[in-house]
A and B are shown apart, each in its own frame.
Chain A
């Protein structure tokens, strides 16, 4: 029994030795392979959700994401919808957003970029308030809290 244990231990150690030598050479491929696993995608709470639609404006594009309600076990009652302004965003943003694309405006968002001040006028009762409002490398992003 002791000999079997010794042989197994030695074999495992030698496999590890070989693996360590190969490891760094193959790191790029291992990482690429790992990134293809089903769970290797950003959670919508992190990424902001999939793009639901775009509204092309004069100098920039308004990107409206799908509402995010994902929770740990099932969906939450409270969520958010992320809106991005991409391109040459004007100093003062004042846009009407229809996030569920039912042709009825859901909220108006007013942002003074200089003062980093954002305010919201809600038309849809599910729309609550502004969760996040921040400049990004591509323009500006806002997360508006909504209820289901």
Chain B
């Protein structure tokens, strides 16, 4: 019964949902086709249309069902899987392997990802230069384009970037949904400060060594993107660390805890994005008058952003990634997307509509390139 009240409150009629989807429909079409649709490549056109329709169905369903998290997760997980596939495919096309060599580092043609950003800040400030062996502008995943993308998204979405923009988060998110109930329930809340320690460590070591130490030694996602060619003990140790961390923090622990463990306890960029939550106009709010303290939100939050005390105070902590899981789970409809400065329970629908539009548009366009690549590969196989 409670579940129905929740669904009905945010869900819209079929016609109204279509109307709300129309701007997304137009914008995604223009942005995905570059404003000049070219249908000369048959397989490319099929892949584009499948992706375009799929994205807009998801957005339509967010309005029609009133649910956010599960639909967001579909795109988020697909984004992570297709991005890894695209990256590996790109590596294999260029280098015939998913490992990179010393020569690739010397030539500075390593693709750049947003997780490197925390390591660039201090050297950029003190040496006026970038310490990552990638391309500043142009080529595949240039430093400039990725930093601008992350900056823009972080200012607008805050730590919402971690649930709506990060192309690795879908791995954690996906594995955290494998089991219906967690095996490990009690996890110390203080672990969520760990990413700040990691951030401090990698920022300092990278500055002192003038190399991106997190990428070189820690990043679990090297296991599903690219890693250094194993040529000796050091590179073998690195590969071992990447695979172990991926297996432990991204696969096993999320399955056992139903939490995004890597995102919550390791990611240094997540720590920076936590701070950017202070800048973003979009928040999640708790209406204390409706809340019955069932603490279901605390239980389902995948990133430890809610505690019993937070709920009692009616605050959502800065660790929130705005995934919408607590909103969908709340039986009393006491939690909702909000806008900074606007009190809880006011302009609830407007806040959700505007946040969904902004965040979904960002993820849809960011993800569309890799999804199209993968869909096209499948189309090539079957048609």
Contact = CB atoms under 8 A, between A and B. Distances in A.
Interface of A: 2, 5-10, 12-14, 16-17, 19-21, 23-25, 27, 30-32, 34-35, 38-48, 70-73, 82, 132-138, 141, 143
Contacts of A70: 127, 210
A141 B105 CA distance: 11
Interface of B: 27, 31, 101-103, 106-108, 122-133, 136-137, 142-145, 147-149, 152, 155-156, 207-208, 210-211, 280-282, 339-343, 351, 354, 357-358, 361-362, 365
Tell me which of A7, A13, A19, A70 has the highest count of chain B C-beta atoms within 10 A of its own C-beta: A13
Contact of B136 (A12, A21, A40, A132): A40
Contacts of B143: 35, 40
A10 B361 contact: no
Tell me which of A8, A14, A46 has the highest count of chain B C-beta atoms within 10 A of its own C-beta: A46
A15 to B, nearest CB: 8
Given A40-B144, A43-B127, A20 B361 contact: yes
B130 A27 contact: no
Contacts of B128: 38-39, 41
Contacts of B342: 6, 9-10
Contacts of A35: 136-137, 142-144
Contact of B362 (A5, A20, A134): A20
B339 A141 contact: no
Contacts of B155: 16
A97 to B, nearest CB: 17
9 contacts: A8-B341, A27-B149, A30-B148, A30-B152, A34-B144, A35-B143, A45-B131, A46-B130, A71-B210
A14 B357 CA distance: 11
Contacts of B361: 20-21, 24
Contacts of B31: 24-25
Contacts of A137: 103, 107
Given A13-B354, A30-B152, A70-B210, 7 more contacts: A16-B358, A17-B358, A19-B152, A24-B365, A25-B31, A46-B108, A133-B102
A132 B339 contact: no
Contacts of A72: 122-123, 126-127, 207-208, 210
A18 B122 CA distance: 32
Contact of B107 (A21, A38, A136): A136
B126 A73 contact: yes
A45 B211 contact: yes
A43 B143 CA distance: 13
Contact of B340 (A9, A134, A141): A9
Nearest to A68: B210
Contact of B129 (A6, A42, A48): A42
B210 A27 contact: no
A31 B145 contact: yes
A20 B340 contact: no
Contacts of B211: 45-46
Given A32-B144, A34-B144, A46 B132 contact: yes
Tell me which of B103, B126, B145, B354 has the highest count of chain A C-beta atoms within 10 A of its own C-beta: B103
A43 B131 contact: yes
Contact of A17 (B107, B208, B341, B357): B357
Contact of B142 (A23, A31, A43): A31
B106 A48 contact: yes
A136 B207 CA distance: 27
B370 to A, nearest CB: 15
Given A21-B361, A40-B136, A46-B133, A9 B144 contact: no
Contacts of A40: 130, 136, 143-144
Contacts of A5: 341
Nearest to A29: B148
Nearest to A116: B231
B362 A47 contact: no
Given A2-B343, A9-B341, A34-B144, A47 B108 contact: yes
Contacts of B340: 9, 12-13
Contacts of A41: 128-130, 136
